[in-house]
Amino acid sequence: MKEPIVQFNDVHKSFGDVKVLKGIDLDINPAEKVAVIGPSGSGKTTIIRMLMTLEEPTSGDIIVDGKNLWKMEKNGKPLRANEKHLRSIRGDIGMVFQHFNLFPHMTILDNCMVAPIHVKKEDKLEVKERAVQMLDRVGLGDKLENYPSQLSGGQKQRVAMARALVMRPKIMLFDEVTSALDPELVGEVLEVIRDIAKNDDMAMVLVTHEMDFALDIADKVLFLDEGVIAEQGTASQVIEHSANERLQTFLHRFRKV
């Protein structure tokens, strides 16, 4: 059996006195596409932010490719991870945010080139070629010299995806990437994700409210509720055949029927 690329072992997270996650256990295999659904405030964003090293778990372990993300050892003593340790693992992970977070002072092309050049110290021409290719792939090959402020929300989000992909992560995280978009722009962004999901062999974790989309591309669906994974399985098991009552109520609100 193949080793999971990501493992959560009894991960808890509190903000002050508020317990947000109460024991998350989760395996993600290489190339697996995982959709995370659940009511607003159930901790979906927090899960992927911990994996992206933007939020530190209160307890428990997150293992990425065999390495403990938030803990390290020095002379045999266990320590909290420092920035250097985090950086040594973080390169495997990429993230697309709800609000795009493009760098507004750079052109679209520079947005996609800055990290490979400065972080991975790759050859500039090679990076440029790859970035142009990637922007072509997301349908923005004609906007290379534009600034983010000149783009629509859907276009911005596609740039954000290209920017993450150029880094060639092993795991890509998507946090409700269509929920800040006008309805007519959602389709173009989902198309790009579908394309990535079908053709690339990264693991993907998608927090999403697009149930039909999740059903279509996800190998596994997690239903997060009140700080725990209340239900998990294949998309059809969870979305179409689950007996979990809270899940049914939740799905009902999102189904357009």
Ligand X SMILES: Nc1ncnc2c1ncn2[C@@H]1O[C@H](COP(=O)(O)OP(=O)(O)O)[C@@H](O)[C@H]1O
Contact residues toward ligand X (CB under 6 A) are 15, 20, 38, 40-46
Residue 83 binds to another protein (criterion: CB under 8 A): yes
- Looking at beta carbons only, is 137 or 246 nearer to ligand X? 246
Residue 50 CB, shortest distance to ligand X, in Å, is 10
Residue range at the interface with Mg ion (CB under 5 A); choices 30-38, 41-49, 51-59, 160-168: 41-49
Residue 178 binds to Mg ion (criterion: CB under 5 A): no
Out of 33, 35, 37, 45, the residue judged to bind Mg ion by CB under 5 A: 45
Residue 208 binds to Mg ion (criterion: CB under 5 A): no
Residue 115 binds to another protein (criterion: CB under 8 A): yes
Distance CA(14)–CA(32), nearest Å, equals: 28
Q: Which residues bind another protein (CB under 8 A)?
A: 52-54, 83, 87, 90-91, 93-95, 97, 99, 101-105, 114-115, 118-119, 147, 149, 163-164, 167
